[in-house]
Amino acid sequence: MGIKEILEKEEFTKDEIIRLLSAEGEDRIMLFRKASEVKEKYIGKRVWLRGLIEFSNICSKDCLYCGIRKGNRKLERYNLSDEEILAAAKFAFDNNYGSIALQSGELESKTVSDRIESLIHKIKELSDGRLGITLSVGEQEPEVYRRWYEAGAHRYLLRIEASNESLYRKIHPNNSMHDFRRRLDCLKSLQDIGYMTGTGVMIGLPFQTLDDLAGDLLFMQEFDIDMCGMGPYIEHADTPLIEYADKLIPAVKRFDLALKMIAIIRIMMKDINIVAATALQAIDPIGREKGVMAGANIIMPNITPGKYRDSYRLYENKPCTDDSEEDCRNCLEARISLVDHEIIYGDWGDSKHYERRRKGWSL
């Protein structure tokens, strides 16, 4: 069966997804054309913003790929004050972003959960309830997730990073702090509580195969996610996985695979929200725009106070760490218009899939 015939199908097998991930030349063009058609039909040529506030790089985890891992002694740690977080949220509100995303290293404690709950209430108050809130703060107990949801957060991104348990174990320490099953349980809790639930993976990891990536896409489809955030793996010099740097596929190939993953998940899950990850731009100067063209509809401009951005470095060559919040917005407007898309302001830009899933509707 050729690529054209595969793209005409309603459902893909793992082998067919591997074929799509391997597409080159005219086959690759057909894949991206199909993804563009699906996106335009179900989403339109529209992009929504999530003002990203990376409020702390303190983390209890020691993931082997991550620059803010607990074991990285070379990193200067920070924790924004409540006032700094609220000022950033107010900037997003005043500039009509529609939504923000609060992201940090993973910590579990009453102090942390109480603080985040209080911040959610204050953000809702300063925006008169009009600012949407996404959280990405890792694994927590279901009751903590519930408290945050009831306080006003309604979206949560918890990346599985690798849906193949064997690969997951190779990129995490083998201990109870890095439990694959707990990661899955947390995702299910988020969905059950009512969050618009998102996950994602890294693309081009050491030991990873096209079979793994195809399995990741099928995992997300089976889990029935509402949002997807995934991007190319970019190595960090101060992490254990750096020892495998010479075995990685070239960064340009990781980038291309990431675009194909975006395109395929757009075709498979037509009305979900897909992030054009900043990591794309770390490899290609117009990487996020290419992500939008491949099927993404969410961009997360960084509105963390500038003096902290270099310290939230999950990977090397993180872009836009020197841009002011205003420069970032102006730059994004110009970039998105160049690829014939429109930024939608003052709107949460919720996943259409979420409403359909919750009501049991079909496409």
Question: What are the tens digits of pLDDT across the range 307-319?
Answer: 887 778 776 666 6
Q: Is the pLDDT of residue 91 over 90?
A: yes
Give residues with Cβ within 8 angstroms of 299, minimum separation 6: 47, 48, 49, 50, 275, 276, 288, 292, 332, 336, 343
Calculate the alpha carbon distances from 347 to 40, 47, 49, 92, 288 in Å.
18, 11, 9, 12, 21
Query: Of all helices (H) and strands (E), which one includes residue 104?
Result: strand 99-104
* Radius of gyration over every alpha carbon of the chain, rounded to an integer in angstroms: 19
**63-72, 247-256, 281-290, 332-341: least confidently modelled range:** 332-341
Q: Which pLDDT belongs to residue 324? A: 67
Write out the two tokens for 246. Answer: 């010479």
Q: Which pLDDT belongs to residue 310? A: 76
Q: Which pLDDT belongs to residue 236? A: 96
Calculate the alpha carbon distances from 170 to 41, 166, 243, 316 in Å.
39, 7, 13, 21
Q: Are 251 and 58 in contact (CB under 8 A)?
A: no
CA dist., res. 113 & res. 311, Å (int)? 23
Calculate the alpha carbon distances from 292 to 50, 137, 153, 297 in Å.
15, 25, 26, 6
Q: Which pLDDT belongs to residue 320? A: 63
Write out the two tokens for 270. Answer: 């037509």
Query: Residue 363 — very low, low, confident or very high, per pLDDT cuts 50/70/90?
Result: confident
- Topology, domain 26-351: TIM Barrel (3.20.20)
Q: Which pLDDT belongs to residue 322? A: 61
Task: Look over the chain and give the mean of its residue pLDDT values, rounded to a whole number.
Answer: 95
pTM, to two decimals: 0.95
**Where do the domains of the chain lie?**
26-351
Interior/surface letters 23-46, b for 16+ CB within 10 angstroms, e for the rest:
beeebbebbbebbbebbeebbeeb
Q: Which pLDDT belongs to residue 339? A: 93
Give residues with Cβ within 8 angstroms of 289, minimum separation 6: 276, 335, 336, 338, 339
Give residues with Cβ within 8 angstroms of 311, minimum separation 6: 57, 75, 76, 77, 78
Compute the CA torsion angle 106, 81, 227, 98 (nearest 10 deg): 180
pLDDT in tens, 121-161: 999 999 999 999 999 999 999 999 999 999 999 999 999 99
Q: Which pLDDT belongs to residue 99? A: 98
pLDDT in tens, 188-243: 999 999 999 999 999 999 999 999 999 999 999 999 999 999 999 999 999 999 99
pLDDT in tens, 15-36: 999 999 999 999 999 999 999 9
Q: Which pLDDT belongs to residue 308? A: 80
pLDDT in tens, 69-90: 999 999 999 999 999 999 999 9
Express as a percent the part of the chain with pLDDT over 70: 96
CA dist., res. 63 & res. 300, Å (int)? 23
The Cβ of residue 48 has, within 10 Å, a number of other Cβ atoms equal to 21
DSSP secondary structure letters along 228-247: EEEEE----TTSGGGGGGGG
CA dist., res. 50 & res. 330, Å (int)? 15
Q: Which pLDDT belongs to residue 314? A: 76
CA dist., res. 59 & res. 71, Å (int)? 9
Cα dihedral sign, 122-128-131-133:
positive
Q: Are 145 and 193 in contact (CB under 8 A)?
A: yes
Query: Residue 321 — very low, low, confident or very high, per pLDDT cuts 50/70/90?
Result: low
Q: Which pLDDT belongs to residue 293? A: 97
